[in-house]
Amino acid sequence: MIEILFLAADLVWPPSGGGRIRTLSQLHVLGSLPEVARVVLFSLGEDGLRGEDRAALRREVPKLEVLEPVFHPVHLFAYPRYVPRVAWLRAARGVPYLAGKWESPTVRAALARELNAFRYDVVWLGSLGMARYLPLVRHRLPDARIVLDGHNVESALWGQFARRQRGIRRLVAEAEWRLARDFERDVLRAVDAVAAISTDDARAYRELAGVEARFVPQVVPFDRRATRTAGGARLCYVGTLSWRPNARGLDWFCGEVWPRVRERLPDATLEIAGAGLPVDPHGAAVAPRAWSVPGVTTVGFVPDVAAVYDRSVAMVAPTLGGSGVRLKLLEAFRHGVPVITTSDGAAGLAIEPGREAFVEDEPSAFAARVIETATSPLRQARLRDAAFAFLGREHGMPAAQDAVRDVLGLRAGSMPRGLAGHQSSELSPVDLAVGGRGAGVVGDERERGAA
């Protein structure tokens, strides 16, 4: 029986965004394995975990022990006093933003105490950012198996960002991309196993670092629904509104696609829901100007997205850029809501365009699919049934359990102790901790600064 310490860069409950949904899925799978005795959750967050949230997590994952979250800004620039430390790490130590953002002496001290208190068999890094503490984990638990769970190919996101810039901004962004790429590559080579959110990401990790990542599918439980109560051309969008690929996609949709939809369906409405927007003094979400068009309402964060899905005949998911898997599509499938998305939105999912979802990148074609779906109950039913079949086939618990057993090194029935399966690297964990190529990129045990 093995004991697992799970390091999460954000609170897990409520599962209101893609990162939290992915983390909760992984906790479900780990807790479901008979070989696992206990999973201890060490998380960061801007708010404390309420008693009811802690209880809900325990009900969701019976083997889960939830430690008190350590305060740290998930949204860095909402806490300006943390920014200078990140800037200093970047300028003086060459630590990329995606790593320096998570550095904190408070977090480091709390993690060290937990690592000293119990000798875990496995430490699961719930995101690339938490790999900032990889040298600390190696030092305190040299025999533990360390797993990196990739939600995205993070350096690819920085590359996309850099290519959109011009002039001096592009030069700065390209320098940041190179640091992010080196950091991600070194971490991929330094851990014992890598879990990828899609086969596309697993392939990208192999190309970047020469490692064989294991695709761990998102577990999506669902109850098949034969009919929906929504009527009229009521559409929705549900996703993290502060994530740039989502925001860019909504800008494009509201400016290029929505006028075409309204021309044919003047009573059509779109409800935009999700976390990440600023709010006014009354607590209402402040939408970008591009989304303030007739028929579109931005409600921001809602505690019960099921109600949004229930009153919608379809969901639009016009993502532009990004990597990993757009969990918003899987959530819409789970709720029985037909989806119209872009190629970037469908990336990482083994769906067939036109069967489980419509996939269009040109404004007039996207609009035509929206109109077709909103006005055809038969089309809605076919998309819904195909999506349910897809979830049952590709995103069930057995497939995820099989993949996680591989990641944990349980396939041969041995305990994941020792580093016999440790992937070879130009840099050892000690090199990463004390210097060598990219010194300070992953971290330095002697260092006690940064956000």
Pair (294, 182) in one structural domain:
no
Q: What is the CATH number of the domain that holds 76?
A: 3.40.50.2000
Pair (62, 207) in one structural domain:
yes
Predicted local confidence at residue 325, as pLDDT: 58
Residue 449: inside a domain, yes or no? no
Question: Who wins on pLDDT, 448 or 29?
Answer: 29
pLDDT band at 430 (very low <50, low <70, confident <90, very high): very low
Residue 174: inside a domain, yes or no? yes
Pair (208, 130) in one structural domain:
yes
- Its pTM stands at 0.74
Residue 201: inside a domain, yes or no? yes
Pair (213, 296) in one structural domain:
no
pLDDT band at 21 (very low <50, low <70, confident <90, very high): confident
Q: What is the dihedral of CA 277, 336, 401, 35, to 10 degrees?
A: 80
Question: Who wins on pLDDT, 442 or 366?
Answer: 366
Pair (406, 388) in one structural domain:
no
Report how far residue 176's alpha carbon sits from residue 197's, in angstroms, rounded to the nearest whole number: 24
Residue 446: inside a domain, yes or no? no
Pair (15, 106) in one structural domain:
yes
What is the rounded average pLDDT of the residues 155-179? 91
Pair (245, 284) in one structural domain:
yes
Pair (341, 407) in one structural domain:
no
pLDDT digits over 104-128, tens only? 999 999 999 999 999 999 999 999 9
Residue 439: inside a domain, yes or no? no
Predicted local confidence at residue 226, as pLDDT: 58
Residue 141: inside a domain, yes or no? yes
pLDDT band at 418 (very low <50, low <70, confident <90, very high): very low
Pair (154, 208) in one structural domain:
yes
Q: Which domain holds residue 294?
A: 234-394
- Is the preceding peptide bond at 69 cis, omega within 30 degrees of 0? no
Pair (81, 130) in one structural domain:
yes
Predicted local confidence at residue 281, as pLDDT: 87
Pair (345, 255) in one structural domain:
yes
pLDDT band at 53 (very low <50, low <70, confident <90, very high): confident
pLDDT at 79 over 80: yes
Predicted local confidence at residue 412, as pLDDT: 54
pLDDT digits over 178-223, tens only? 999 999 999 999 999 999 988 889 999 999 999 999 999 888 877 6
Query: What would the DSSP string read from start to end of 126-190?
Result: -SGGGGGGHHHHHHH-TTSEEEEEESS-HHHHHHHHHHT--HHHHHHHHHHHHHHHHHHHHHHHH
CB 432 within 8 A of CB 176: no
Pair (238, 370) in one structural domain:
yes
Q: Per the structure, how many domains does the chain have?
A: 2
Residue 34: inside a domain, yes or no? yes
pLDDT digits over 328-344, tens only? 888 899 899 999 999 99
